[in-house]
Structure 1
């Protein structure tokens, strides 16, 4: 039992640093997670699609598939799925090294995030915007790991606190009625 009285199994973190949406879909299959059930799911994915120059349309299609899979994992309870915006890696020392155009990075990240926010709204899912605050702090040494690219544990902890506030509120709500015939 946690400090606040919540009882959970240990979290299952599927994605790894450097993964694209395609990599995450493949891992879900490889780990046999289709059909698994979870109380909560969060998705923060896509920065590596942008970094690798993959087509935005591919990201859109694969994110839509990831959302479908995630909704199945939470029994269709969209209020238990959270989508996060993508942090702008162009503000980091790695991004500022002159090898990439930081304005182009920001513009592409904004396009990805616009789609994430739009699909969250269309599908009535939680959307947590982290990009703008990260643009203000993402280049600070304390907020980065040694590679000068990836966020530090402090940044991830802040994002986790934000997700937990949303999720705690949702877990206190009864599941919505679905009016399925098997529930009568």
Structure 2
């Protein structure tokens, strides 16, 4: 009886979480409610990072220092040959589509003096059933914006592939989700290759989520701190090379 009651309550919670057309999030997590961009210091002896994205960038359901941009920042501090401080700004929010991210960047208007910019966006276009043509139009816009914010140097931009939430308890191994995620990632990777922009594939890491539950956060949907650390293992060598060239 208790098991049946638990299943009923879980179904109700999941329905409520999905009813707003966004990937479900933790309502008690303050990271779900705001972006975090600030005006960087004008000190030339500071390495400046900007992370653009959605819940996968803001780190839904993990601690603030566990999300991948923060882990990347900490790893850079430990591994860069320079002892200059590293500052991180984030423009991201759970549920954001490419349209939301474009509007927020335009509203906040961050400067164009970042040493490294990461971009990870698109899962909510897929989840919300947006026309794929929107992504085809807006991803290039966001990539151009990322280049602009990186001092108009495309070498200082890293695009990160979209995780596959099919391999979570929420996604339940859905092949249709994986196929759609592949479509988004293929477009982004092909476009990056065409423009000679660094593209880092981390999707395969998230596709171990059902076999390795430790890669999934406590909400049963987003990557865990461990998964994000594996993202950083792939991004870090490229970031160091870009920052030290």
TM-score (norm 1): 0.84
Q: Residue 78 of structure 1: which of 154, 160, 163 is its match? A: 154
| Counterpart in the other structure of 1:146 | 218
- Write out per-residue CA displacement over residues 1-38 of structure 1, whole angstroms, 9 at most, x where no aligned residue: 933344244211111222111111111122122x4320
- Write out per-residue CA displacement over residues 90-129 of structure 1, whole angstroms, 9 at most, x where no aligned residue: 1100011xxxx81111111111011011011010000111
C-alpha RMSD of matched pairs (Å): 1.8
Q: Residue 11 of structure 1: which of 66, 81, 88 is its match? A: 88
Indicate yes or no: 2:208 matched with 1:131: no
4+ long deviations beyond 4 Å: none
Gaps of 5+ in 2: 1-45, 47-76
Once residues 106 and 210 of structure 2 are traced to their aligned partners in structure 1, the CA distance between those partners, rounded to angstroms, is 33
- Deviation (angstroms), 1:55: 1.1
Once residues 159 and 148 of structure 1 are traced to their aligned partners in structure 2, the CA distance between those partners, rounded to angstroms, is 18
Once residues 69 and 132 of structure 1 are traced to their aligned partners in structure 2, the CA distance between those partners, rounded to angstroms, is 27
- Deviation (angstroms), 1:156: 1.3
Describe the SS at the equivalent of 2:190. helix
Q: Which moved more, 1:101-110 or 1:116-125?
A: 101-110
Is the contact between residue 205 and residue 227 of structure 2 (CA under 8 Å) also seen in structure 1?
Answer: no
Q: Residue 119 of structure 1: which of 187, 191, 205 is its match? A: 191
Higher strand share: 2
Q: Residue 55 of structure 1: which of 128, 131, 147 is its match? A: 131
Is the contact between residue 39 and residue 74 of structure 1 (CA under 8 Å) also seen in structure 2?
Answer: yes
Distance 1:139 1:76, change over 3 A: farther
Aligned length: 168
| Counterpart in the other structure of 1:109 | 181
| Counterpart in the other structure of 1:161 | 233
Describe the SS at the equivalent of 1:149. coil
Is the contact between residue 137 and residue 143 of structure 1 (CA under 8 Å) also seen in structure 2?
Answer: yes
TM-score (norm 2): 0.64
